[in-house]
């Protein structure tokens, strides 16, 4: 992915924050500006009060001068107090809006990108980095920009005051700062590279750590006594990560503490010089207090901004990853074909290769499918079935060849608006039963009657009727929801399929994988009954259902090598016949 410097990441993060809530962002900038003048007022009041108190002690001033100085100090303190409240309120508002916009933008993008990005290891790592760290670092970059506003304005004012003491010392101080910044730049680059090296360890470590608390893997985890094995793998990754982290922290801490020591040298020299000038009567005692506060402010400014800049140099990759993800190509979903126009599909010389793959997964696939056909797609693992299905489901458009829609003059067109599907690893949405079904037809508001009809068709009506909140019962483990068996979840998925009456293509990938044999037959009967004139594509390793289909398509090595009815393919004694007879042997003595 394209690399951008930390400065560009800083600017983009702040542009994102500004767009999230302009008022809160501008308000935060104003609080920093006011804070500089509040600090100046506070410092000058301390100088004035100290001088007044000293002169009062010497009998050279009136008590009113001290009262004025204390009043100014109190005013400065009040400004800081009110600014603190304003900063917290504006920060909370800005960060909440940023969090919303970040999660919305990321969720929208990941929902629209090509499916093949998830097959790419580099992109998978980028997605992990973004989910784990990007938002936090973007917020840090906003804080860094606010520090920068304070640093620039405060630096100009405070250094101007210090320059009245000794211009040479101030110039030397700035030169030393620039020199350190340049000298340590290489070290920070090495630290950033080390953080990148750390991510794969952390990703794997989190995976092994999550196994013990994952409901899906808990039974195997406990039954097979996997704790020792998993803990050992986790520990190996932990120690590998620990070594990298200690290397990072050691190098970073030495660099940072060295910088602090060098920055303190002009401070010590300046205080000695001011002390001498006070001793010879050139300044009053309050001037020493002013200089001490000025240097402490400047030191805090410099070390704070230096720390944040160094952090930005090592962490900007997380921000970079977010904006790079937003630039990923999306799958085009628009379509001018209505369901009334649709008559069939023609795949012409369809070919596809996965990213970084040496060989193509699909090689010149030619296929015609007519409206109303019920087709079984079979083949060994790795034969190309899944790849073909993903293209059919419009998850990528990076294939060779064309997909022509009969009934349309368009040459290459997405099919998502014409399709509904059930995948083997279907989602178990932690939503209400009603919402789970409505997801099958986004945009339509279903009546209770329509929801109950879908549930009745998949054999869940009786079960749902017994639930305390009926179709509004929450499923899953959130909000005290009701958890379902795998078979019941699969029936919910089929109900979701039935929710879209406009879909002319049903794609069913192992639609009965979690059902018992009797329920499996019932579901296939139901699908055939409800499918009507739709195209139905069954993808399964269990071939018993294939006898009922109009046509069987056999994939092998990315090509269609056989097609025909069950009887025709058995007679050919090819791949399908071998697969079918092998399965048949399990059931026939």
Q: What is the CATH number of the domain that holds 361?
A: 3.40.50.300
Average pLDDT over residues 556-585: 91
Has residue 123 been placed in a domain?
yes
Q: Give the structural domain span for 33.
A: 6-326
Q: What is the Cβ-side half-sphere exposure of residue 393, based on CA atoms within 13 angstroms?
A: 20
- C-alpha distances in Å from residue 540, one per residue of 216, 379, 507, 537: 23, 9, 11, 10
pLDDT value for 276: 79
Q: Is residue 62's pLDDT more than 70?
A: no
Confidence band (pLDDT; 50, 70, 90) for 8?
confident
Does an H or E element contain 376, and which?
strand 374-379
User: What is the phi/psi pair of residue 378, to 5°?
Assistant: -130, 170
Q: For residue 426, give every residue at least 6 positions away whose Cβ sits within 8 Å of its Cβ, in sequence order, or none.
A: 489, 490, 493
The answer to whether residues 416 and 282 belong to one domain is no
Q: Considering 296, 326, 356, which residue would you say is the last residue of a domain?
A: 326
The answer to whether residues 114 and 142 belong to one domain is yes
Q: Is residue 134's pLDDT more than 70?
A: yes
Q: Considering 256, 291, 326, which residue would you say is the last residue of a domain?
A: 326
The answer to whether residues 98 and 54 belong to one domain is yes
Is pLDDT larger for residue 304 or for residue 78? Answer: 78
The answer to whether residues 295 and 204 belong to one domain is yes
Has residue 282 been placed in a domain?
yes
Report the candidate in 512, 517, 514 with the shortest Cα–Cα distance to residue 528: 512
What is d(CA 341, CA 388) in angstroms, rounded to the nearest whole number?
24
**CB-CB contact of 191 with 314 (8 Å):** yes
pLDDT value for 568: 93
Q: Which of helix, strand or coil describes residue 312?
A: helix
Kindly report which listed range (264-268, 437-441, 520-524, 581-585) carries the lowest average pLDDT score. Answer: 264-268
Write the DSSP symbol of residue 476: S
Q: Dump pLDDT digits (tens) for 386-416.
A: 889 888 888 877 888 888 887 755 544 567 7
Has residue 411 been placed in a domain?
yes
Has residue 476 been placed in a domain?
no
pLDDT value for 336: 41
What is d(CA 135, CA 318) in angstroms, rounded to the nearest whole number?
8
Q: For residue 500, give every residue at least 6 positions away whose Cβ sits within 8 Å of its Cβ, in sequence order, or none.
A: 420, 440, 441
What is d(CA 107, CA 184) in angstroms, rounded to the nearest whole number?
38
What is d(CA 492, CA 161) in angstroms, rounded to the nearest whole number?
73
pLDDT value for 192: 64
pLDDT value for 422: 84
Has residue 444 been placed in a domain?
no
Is pLDDT larger for residue 426 or for residue 58? Answer: 426
Q: Dump pLDDT digits (tens) for 233-286.
A: 777 877 877 777 777 777 667 766 776 676 677 667 777 777 877 787 777 777
pLDDT value for 174: 67
**CB-CB contact of 350 with 368 (8 Å):** no
What is d(CA 26, CA 235) in angstroms, rounded to the nearest whole number?
47
Q: Dump pLDDT digits (tens) for 176-214.
A: 666 666 666 666 666 666 666 776 777 777 776 666 655
Q: For residue 11, give every residue at least 6 positions away whose Cβ sits within 8 Å of its Cβ, in sequence order, or none.
A: none
Q: Is residue 65's pLDDT more than 90?
A: no
Does an H or E element contain 585, and which?
helix 575-587
**CB-CB contact of 370 with 343 (8 Å):** yes
Strands 344-352 and 400-406: antiparallel
Bridge partners for 348 per DSSP: 402
User: Whole-angstrom distance between the N-terminal and C-terminal Cα of the chain?
Assistant: 58
The answer to whether residues 312 and 362 belong to one domain is no
CB-count exposure of residue 451 (10 Å: 0-12, 13-18, 19+): buried
Write the DSSP symbol of residue 133: I
Confidence band (pLDDT; 50, 70, 90) for 44?
confident
Is pLDDT larger for residue 184 or for residue 41? Answer: 41
Confidence band (pLDDT; 50, 70, 90) for 535?
very high
Has residue 575 been placed in a domain?
yes
Is pLDDT larger for residue 163 or for residue 546? Answer: 546
The answer to whether residues 315 and 353 belong to one domain is no
pLDDT value for 452: 94
The answer to whether residues 558 and 419 belong to one domain is yes
Q: Is residue 20's pLDDT more than 90?
A: yes
CB-count exposure of residue 533 (10 Å: 0-12, 13-18, 19+): exposed
The answer to whether residues 415 and 552 belong to one domain is yes
Q: What is the DSSP string of 482-514?
A: BP--HHHHHHHHHHHHHT-TT--EEEEESTTTT
Q: Dump pLDDT digits (tens) for 474-516.
A: 988 776 778 888 888 888 988 888 888 888 899 988 877 777 7
Q: What angle do CA 356, 358, 364 make, to 5 degrees?
A: 110
- C-alpha distances in Å from residue 441, one per residue of 42, 504, 538: 63, 13, 21
**CB-CB contact of 259 with 308 (8 Å):** no
Is pLDDT larger for residue 522 or for residue 23? Answer: 23
The answer to whether residues 254 and 388 belong to one domain is no
Alpha-helical (H) ranges within 113-134 are: 121-129
pLDDT value for 500: 85
pLDDT value for 16: 94
Q: For residue 348, give every residue at least 6 positions away whose Cβ sits within 8 Å of its Cβ, in sequence order, or none.
A: 366, 401, 402, 403, 404
The answer to whether residues 307 and 424 belong to one domain is no
3-state SS string for 235-274: HHHHHHHHHHHHHHHHHHHHHHHHHHHHHHHHHHHHHHHH
pTM, to two decimals: 0.65
User: What is the phi/psi pair of residue 79, to 5°?
Assistant: -60, -45
Report the candidate in 575, 156, 250, 565 with the shortest Cα–Cα distance to residue 384: 575
pLDDT value for 106: 87
Domains identified in the chain, total number: 2
Bridge partners for 551 per DSSP: 375
CATH of the domain at 152: 1.20.1560.10
CA of residue 260 relative to chain centroid, distance: 36
The answer to whether residues 166 and 249 belong to one domain is yes
Q: Dump pLDDT digits (tens) for 317-354.
A: 788 888 888 888 776 654 444 455 778 888 999 999 88
Has residue 478 been placed in a domain?
no
Is pLDDT larger for residue 199 or for residue 23? Answer: 23
Return the percentage of the chain with pLDDT > 90, whole number: 20
Does an H or E element contain 67, and which?
helix 63-112
Report the candidate in 303, 294, 284, 306 with the shortest Cα–Cα distance to residue 160: 294
Report the candidate in 197, 244, 253, 192 with the shortest Cα–Cα distance to residue 5: 192
Q: Is residue 451's pLDDT more than 90?
A: yes
The answer to whether residues 283 and 403 belong to one domain is no
Confidence band (pLDDT; 50, 70, 90) for 18?
very high
Report the candidate in 333, 336, 377, 348 with the shortest Cα–Cα distance to residue 508: 377
Q: Considering 293, 326, 359, which residue would you say is the last residue of a domain?
A: 326
Radius of gyration of the chain, Cα coordinates, nearest whole angstrom: 35
Kindly report which listed range (41-50, 217-226, 364-373, 562-571) carries the lowest average pLDDT score. Answer: 217-226
Q: What is the side-by-side strand order in the sheet with 535-539?
A: 419-422, 505-509, 535-539, 374-379, 551-556, 559-564
User: What is the phi/psi pair of residue 280, to 5°?
Assistant: -90, 5
- What is the overall mean pLDDT for the chain? 80
Has residue 386 been placed in a domain?
yes
Structure-block tokens of residue 495: 């109900």
Residue count of the chain, please give it: 589
Is pLDDT larger for residue 381 or for residue 199? Answer: 381
Q: Is residue 227's pLDDT more than 80?
A: no
Q: Is residue 170's pLDDT more than 90?
A: no
Q: Is residue 1's pLDDT more than 50?
A: no
């Amino acid at each position: 992915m394209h690399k951008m410097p930390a400065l560009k990441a800083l600017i983009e993060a702040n542009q994102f924050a500004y767009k999230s809530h302009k008022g809160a962002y501008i308000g935060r900038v104003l609080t920093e500006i006011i804070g500089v003048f509040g600090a100046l007022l506070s410092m000058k009041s301390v100088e004035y009060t100290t001088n007044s108190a000293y002169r009062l002690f010497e009998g050279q001033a009136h008590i009113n001068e001290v009262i004025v100085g204390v009043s100014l100090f109190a005013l400065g303190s009040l400004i800081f107090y009110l600014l603190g409240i304003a900063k917290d309120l504006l920060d909370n508002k800005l960060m909440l809006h940023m969090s919303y916009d970040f999660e919305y933008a990321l969720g929208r993008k990941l929902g629209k990108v090509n499916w093949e990005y998830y097959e790419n290891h580099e992109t998978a790592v980028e997605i992990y980095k973004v989910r784990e760290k990007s938002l936090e670092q973007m917020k840090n970059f906003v804080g860094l920009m606010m520090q920068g506003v304070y640093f620039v304005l405060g630096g100009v004012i405070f250094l101007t005051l210090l320059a009245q003491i000794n211009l040479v010392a101030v110039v030397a101080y700035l030169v030393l700062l620039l020199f350190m910044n340049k000298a340590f730049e290489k070290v920070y680059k090495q630290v950033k590279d080390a953080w990148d090296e750390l991510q794969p360890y952390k990703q794997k470590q989190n995976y092994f750590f999550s196994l013990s608390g994952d409901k899906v893997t808990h039974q195997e985890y406990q039954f097979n006594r996997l704790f020792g094995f998993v803990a050992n793998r986790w520990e190996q990754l932990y120690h590998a990560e620990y070594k990298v982290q200690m290397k990072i922290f050691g190098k970073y801490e030495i660099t940072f503490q060295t910088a602090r020591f060098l920055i303190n040298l002009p401070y010590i020299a300046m205080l000695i010089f001011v002390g001498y000038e006070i001793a010879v009567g050139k300044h009053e005692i309050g001037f020493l207090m002013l200089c001490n506060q000025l240097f402490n402010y400047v030191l805090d400014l410099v070390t704070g901004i230096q720390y944040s800049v160094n952090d930005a140099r090592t962490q900007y990759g997380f921000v970079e990853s977010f904006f790079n993800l937003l630039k990923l190509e999306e799958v085009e979903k628009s379509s001018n074909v209505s369901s009334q126009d649709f008559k069939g599909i023609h795949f012409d010389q369809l070919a596809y290769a996965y990213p970084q793959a040496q060989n193509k997964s699909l090689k010149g696939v030619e296929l015609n499918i007519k409206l109303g056909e019920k087709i079984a797609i079979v083949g060994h693992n790795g034969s190309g079935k899944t790849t073909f299905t993903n293209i059919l489901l419009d998850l990528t458009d990076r294939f060779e060849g064309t997909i022509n829609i009969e009934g349309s003059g368009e040459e290459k067109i997405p099919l998502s608006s014409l399709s509904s599907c059930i995948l083997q690893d279907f989602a178990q949405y932690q939503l209400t039963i009603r919402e789970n079904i409505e997801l099958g037809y986004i945009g339509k508001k279903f009546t209770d009657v329509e929801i109950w009809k879908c549930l009745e068709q998949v054999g869940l009506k009786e079960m749902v009727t017994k639930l305390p909140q009926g179709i509004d019962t929450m499923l899953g483990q959130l909000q005290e929801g009701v958890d379902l068996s795998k078979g019941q979840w699969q029936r919910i998925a089929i109900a979701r399929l039935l929710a879209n009456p406009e879909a002319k293509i049903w794609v069913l990938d192992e639609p009965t994988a979690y059902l018992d044999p009797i329920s499996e037959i019932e579901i296939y009967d139901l699908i055939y009954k409800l499918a009507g004139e739709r195209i139905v594509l069954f993808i399964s390793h269990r071939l018993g259902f294939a006898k009922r289909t109009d046509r069987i398509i056999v994939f092998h090595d990315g090509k269609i090598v056989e097609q025909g009815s069950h009887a025709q393919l058995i007679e050919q004694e090819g791949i399908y016949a071998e697969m079918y007879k092998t399965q048949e042997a399990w059931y026939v003595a």
